[in-house]
Amino acid sequence: MDSTAPSRAQSEVAELLSELIRIDTTNTGDTATSAGERAAAEWVAGKLDEVGIDSVIHESERGRASLVARIPGADRSRPALLVHGHLDVVPADPAEWSVHPFSGEERDGYVWGRGAVDMKDMDAMVLALVRDWARTGVQPPRDVVLAFVADEEAGGKLGARWLVDEHPDLFADCSEAISEVGGFSITVRDDLRLYLVQTAEKGLAWMRLTAGGRPGHGSFVHDDNAVTRLCQAVARIGASRLPTVLTPPMRQFLAAVEDAYGIEIDPDAPEEALARLGSISRMIGAALRNTANPTMLQAGYKANVIPGTASATVDGRFLHGQEEEFERQLASLVGEGVQREWIVHDQAVETTFDGPLVDLMVEALKAEDAGARPVPFTMSGGTDAKSFQRLGMRCFGFSPLRLPADLDFASLFHGIDERVPVESLQFGVRVLDRFLRSV
């Protein structure tokens, strides 16, 4: 394998990432001000076209562009593998950054900029690899479908979800998919790194609470105040800690942590043990239970007028299999006299950490890092996997990166000074090469 290591891919992956970061694809949630996705999709199309790979750009709304390409495999009777990545990024304020967030600057061994880990890094790794393959005549064992999509950061309605609804034929034969968020390492010690492969993600339940009451003059004695009623419900939700629920991937993950660190984890209070994992424990800890966090409040218009209604927004997330239980938990927290309606509701996603595809991920990681121990984990947030899973695919977060032990990876997502080590990108290219050659 080493004699065929994708050398050109490794040497161009950082430059590809820099170029892609320089195309500002900020997703504001509003098409009128989300300009860059079309330019990014055209740039990807150009990079594929240079090496003879055809692609098609699909637009859901003007400028909201997603690109799909198919690399024919050796055995076309087998189901295809989908490799998807989003092209959009969340906003970044240059005033807060050490480098301009859309400079794509390479400095101190890192590529800096918005999207460096979420998730133009994976986009660039995949692009570098398939370009190398096309130049050297490498063919994957089965069809690989590439999708570089718009709008993930606003829920995918104009990207992955739209493609799945409007062009399901493009993915009809895809049995599995890889994308964010997973495949990155946590260093236990010099010769042992956990690689977290995402096999599950929580469901989404954003809701609006509305309380009613009797409007009136703010100077009167008043016992039917919408603001008071709403705030009581909001405070109960915000102060609550819903019970720990260990889903299958979380049990496997905790077992691996116990083994790696030689500790025993109390299943009723796993947080303490998870703290060892550093900042990533915030992401992982959120997958121990359903959560509900109040995020917005709206009521009233004048200091001396008691309004007739008051409303709040709550960001709720539920584990796979916990949807009904979560509704019961909410109903008891919200209480009487407050209405609840969903603003956004999307299902949880979960698959098992087994089968030939998982074996190949594990083998590819171990071949490039002798200290690798791959483990499944549950993402607290949502990704485009929610959309693609609807077509019956098993979805994995597998964007391999071997990271420096001291890098605070979790805080780079949507964070200030988002950056990725060039060496990690090159590692990712090698792992993806081994993996995709053998799928």
Q: Which residues bind Zn ion (CB under 5 A)?
A: 118-119, 180
Nearer to Zn ion, 132 or 180 (CB): 180
DSSP type of residue 417: T
At closest approach, how far in Å is the CB of 109 from Zn ion? Answer: 23
At closest approach, how far in Å is the CB of 365 from Zn ion? Answer: 21
Q: Measured between alpha carbons, how far is 404 from 312 in angstroms, rounded to an integer?
A: 41
Nearer to Zn ion, 143 or 180 (CB): 180
Q: Compute CA 87 distance to the chain's CA centroid, rounded to the nearest angstrom.
A: 12
Nearer to Zn ion, 18 or 25 (CB): 25
Contact criterion met (CB below 8 Å) for 39 and 106: no
Q: Measured between alpha carbons, how far is 314 from 291 in angstroms, rounded to an integer?
A: 10
At closest approach, how far in Å is the CB of 70 from Zn ion? Answer: 23
Nearer to Zn ion, 206 or 261 (CB): 206
Nearer to Zn ion, 200 or 211 (CB): 200
At closest approach, how far in Å is the CB of 180 from Zn ion? Answer: 5
At closest approach, how far in Å is the CB of 156 from Zn ion? Answer: 10
Q: What type of residue is 250?
A: M
Nearer to Zn ion, 119 or 177 (CB): 119
Q: Measured between alpha carbons, how far is 20 from 34 in angstroms, rounded to an integer?
A: 16
At closest approach, how far in Å is the CB of 379 from Zn ion? Answer: 10
At closest approach, how far in Å is the CB of 118 from Zn ion? Answer: 4
Nearer to Zn ion, 8 or 414 (CB): 414
Q: Could you tell me the CA-to-CA distances from 176 to 159, 173, 437 in Å, in that order?
A: 19, 9, 15
- Number of residue whose CB is nearest Zn ion: 118
C-alpha closest to that of 113 among 324, 416, 431: 416
Nearer to Zn ion, 208 or 414 (CB): 414
Nearer to Zn ion, 119 or 299 (CB): 119
Nearer to Zn ion, 119 or 231 (CB): 119
Q: Measured between alpha carbons, how far is 12 from 87 in angstroms, rounded to an integer?
A: 19
Contacts 24+ apart (CB under 8 A), 232-239: 232/335, 233/209, 233/312, 233/333, 233/334, 233/335, 233/338, 234/209, 234/294, 234/297, 234/312, 234/314, 236/333, 236/334, 236/335, 237/292, 237/293, 237/294, 237/314, 237/330, 237/333, 237/334, 238/293, 238/294
At closest approach, how far in Å is the CB of 181 from Zn ion? Answer: 7
Nearer to Zn ion, 261 or 413 (CB): 413
For residue 192, count other CB atoms closer than 10 A to its CB: 17
3-state secondary structure 58-119: EECCCCCEEEEEEECCCCCCCCEEEEEEECCECCCCHHHCCCCCCCCCEECCEEECCCCCCC
Burial call 31-53: b when 16+ CB within 10 Å, e when fewer: beebebbbebbebbbebbeeeeb
At closest approach, how far in Å is the CB of 58 from Zn ion? Answer: 20
Q: Cite the beta strand spans of 141-273 per DSSP E.
A: 144-149, 174-179, 184-189, 192-201, 203-212, 216-217
At closest approach, how far in Å is the CB of 193 from Zn ion? Answer: 22
Determine whether 121 is exposed, middle or buried from the number of CB atoms within 10 Å of its CB (0-12, 13-18, 19+): buried
Q: What type of residue is 178?
A: I
At closest approach, how far in Å is the CB of 232 from Zn ion? Answer: 36
